[in-house]
Structures are given as structure tokens and as C-alpha cells.
A = this chain, B = another copy of it.
Amino acid sequence: MVLIVGDGMGDRLVPSLNYKTPLQEASTPNLDEMARRGQTGLINVIAPGIPPGSDTAHISLFGLDPFLWYEGRGPFEAMGVGASLTKGDVALRGNFATVKEEGGKLIVVDRRAGRKVDEASELVEVLNEKLNEVDGVKVEFYHATEHRLAVVLRGEGLSDKVSDTDPHEVGKPVLESRPLEDTPEAKKTAEVLTKITFKSYEVLKDHPANKRRIEKGLPPANIVLLRGAGMLRKPLPTLQERIGVKAAAVGATALVLGVAKAVGMDLYTPPGATGGVDTDYKSKARKAVELLKDYDMVFVHLKGTDAASHDGLVEEKVRMIEALDYIAGYIMDYYDGEAVFVVTPDHATPVTVKEHTGDPVPSLLYAPTAIPDDTKEYNEISVAKGKLSGIRGMDLFNLMVNYANRAKKFGA
């Protein structure tokens, strides 16, 4: 099984394309061929008219109902950068930031420490060494990209009902975390977060890496600001548990990889995969073919389509769609076995809107044994009358598993 997701790939009629969609404009011989040989439709990844987040969309595309399973982005982001979470763990987003001491307070000078923090690995290492336990709670730091971190708290009696230590504004003092509900768990967790933040300053402020940054004229990454606490209350069932398949994810976007890990996929970010429009998509295609030797299911995620859409860059979007077509064609050409393919956006991000919308999105399923429909091309208009129209993201996943003859019977 090969599941290829073009993030935000769905779109509307674009005036600058003579009222065509980017998918109509792009040259997609491989996707068109799959559409001709397979089944297509306009599907609702979550439900008609509901704009999906990248996290809820992928929960659905991995076969689970997001209304039942989604509890916030925090745990997924942490899993996407390497953390393994278990029930009751609290995950937060962290920033390396720059603060200065003023009147006995720490005042934020740059919430992102200049964004480019080449010393991040070094700094995360020292944090994990010196701040690995606070008040009996285990603390783990993970570097994501640039100034971004994930921070995980493990221990008994934690809560995610706590406020941020990140003041979200330059010139403001670093905050103490407050409990957002009157429970011992929230009180304790807030105290731990406050201590982590202020202790991170003690650990980082005189670190050699920061001395080097100051010498170079860069803002020192001298504190970790925390925000967006989330608790993993209900771990997602894994693909192994649900249908007995071994699955791998190829991508570079932490949030999406986190959902993939949460359903039990092994994560791969091949060299050159960036999550942006500059990604080395050929490297993803090669990795997918390689992984198909060892895995029953390979999920390939391309973020560039969404990145271009959020910036309103229609030509970039067309180019990224053609990259996705390349990936699909490469896997078809170079994988020796028979595979079931699904190609779908996770949601529409119309270049004219620059945000996720709840429009239905064009999807295709190509399986050697699935009866095709009459669709000849892959785009928002041509698939409208395809036989998959109206189904949800989770249905599309279940159909892929079904046509791979790996679906579990419900009932006797």
C-alpha cells in the first residue's frame, strides 16, 4: 500500500489560471493514468464544509475518526520530532529565545533567538543533561527545526491545564505558568514548567555556544519559552494492532509525522526533505521504493503544495503538484511488486484563500483488482462524478486496506 498525500493540494478555480485549478493546470501524466485505471471522487476528509487541520486530516486518512481521537496538537508535534509518548505524558512546544535581565526580571528580546540556531543540538544536549528532572518529574527536550523544540514531561499526576511561560510578545517579562484549573495536578505541573523555563536560563546563559553566538553578533539562545501544553490521554490504536500491517512514513513535517508515529509508523526523513517548496522530492520517491521492500504500507507526505498555497504562490503550487506526480510515477516504475495506491490532499488550501478550507478534495485509489470508474483525469472537476465521491478520509483508507486484501472483517 502506498498512500501519497499532497498537503493542501485541493483548490478552487483560480482567476490567474483562467479559472482552472492548480491540479488542472499542472502536468500530471502519472496521476491521470492512475485516475483512468482506478477509482476517484471528491471526498470529505473530515466532513462536508469542515476545514481540517493537518493533524485531524491525517488521523482520518489513517483510518480513525478524528472526532473520537483528536485531543490537541501537542502530543503529535512532540512525537513528530522523536519523542515516544505514553498515556499521561504532557507535551509542550518550546522556543529557544533571547532574554535580558532588567529590574530583576527576564525580558524577552527575541522570541526566536534569530530563528537560525545552528547550535541547537549542542544546547538541547546540555538541557537534557542538566534539566532531566524537576520535582520528581522527568523532562525531555527534542529539537525540531530552527528555534523550535518539543518538551515532554513524564510522571504521575500531571496536567495540561496550565498557562504558557512564553509571553508571546517582545519586551514583556517571561511568565510564570499558572494552573488553569483548581487541581493538585495543574498546580504541580505549572510549578514544574516555571522551574524549567527559569532554570533553562541558568543552564544556557553562559554556555560556550551562546558566547560564540554573541561574538558573531547573533542573539544568544539563552532560554526555553514554553507554550501549548497537551496531554496524551487516549493513545491512538496502531496499524499493527488494528490491521496487522507494518507501516513507514516519509516526510519532514513534525505535526504530520507525529500523527504517523502515533498510529505506529516508523518515521523517515530522507536527505534533502525539508517540508518546504525546496524539498528534494526525488529523494522521497527513492526512499519510498526502498521502504516498500520491508513495509506493508508506505505513507509519503509532501508539504510543499500547502506551503505554496499559504503564500498564495500559484506557480509554485503547480510545480509542487508536478513533484508529487513525479513521486507517484517513480514508485509505479521502480517498485517491483503490485501495490495499491491512494493519492489525496489532506484538505484544500486554495491559493486565493491562503488558509485550509472545508471544500471536498479530489482523491484517487488505484488497485489492480478494484473496478475502475469513468474518470479520465485527476483534478477537482474531472473526479466529481467518480465513485468515491462523498466518502470520508477514513473510508478512503479503509478502501485502500480492503483492496490490498488486508482488511479485518467486522462481525462473524
Q: Which positions 188-209 of chain A face chain B at CB distance < 8 Å?
A: none
Question: CB of A255 within 8 A of chain B?
Answer: yes
Segment from A160-168, A285-293, A299-307, A356-364 that makes contact with B: A356-364
Q: Which positions 178-229 of chain A face chain B at CB distance < 8 Å?
A: none
Question: CB of A269 within 8 A of chain B?
Answer: no
What CA separation (Å) do A398 and B358 show in the bound complex?
8
Question: CB of A313 within 8 A of chain B?
Answer: no
Q: How many copies does the complex hold?
A: 2
Question: What is the total number of residues of chain A having a CB less than 8 Å from a CB of chain B?
Answer: 59
Q: A30-62 vs B: 1/0 string, CB under 8 Å?
A: 000000000000101011111111111100000
Query: Of the candidates B57, B72, B350, B402, which one forms a contact with A49 in the assembled complex, judged by CB atoms under 8 Å apart?
Result: B402
Q: A12-B370, A395-B49 are in contact. Are A412 and B358 (CB under 8 A)?
A: no
What CA separation (Å) do A220 and B350 show in the bound complex?
65
Q: How far is the CB of A354 from chain B (nearest CB, A)?
A: 10
CB–CB A50/B391 < 8 A: no
Q: How far is the CB of A349 from chain B (nearest CB, A)?
A: 11
Q: Which positions 357-412 of chain A face chain B at CB distance < 8 Å?
A: 357-360, 369-371, 373, 380-381, 384-385, 387, 389-391, 395-403, 405, 407-412
CB–CB A359/B402 < 8 A: yes
Q: A225-268 vs B: 1/0 string, CB under 8 Å?
A: 00000000000000000000000000000010000000000000
Which chain B residue shows the least CB distance to A56?
A: B411
Q: How far is the CB of A348 from chain B (nearest CB, A)?
A: 9
Which chain B residue shows the least CB distance to A384?
A: B387
* A residues at B contact (CB < 8 Å): 12-13, 21, 42, 44, 46-57, 66, 70, 72-73, 255, 350, 352-353, 355-360, 369-371, 373, 380-381, 384-385, 387, 389-391, 395-403, 405, 407-412
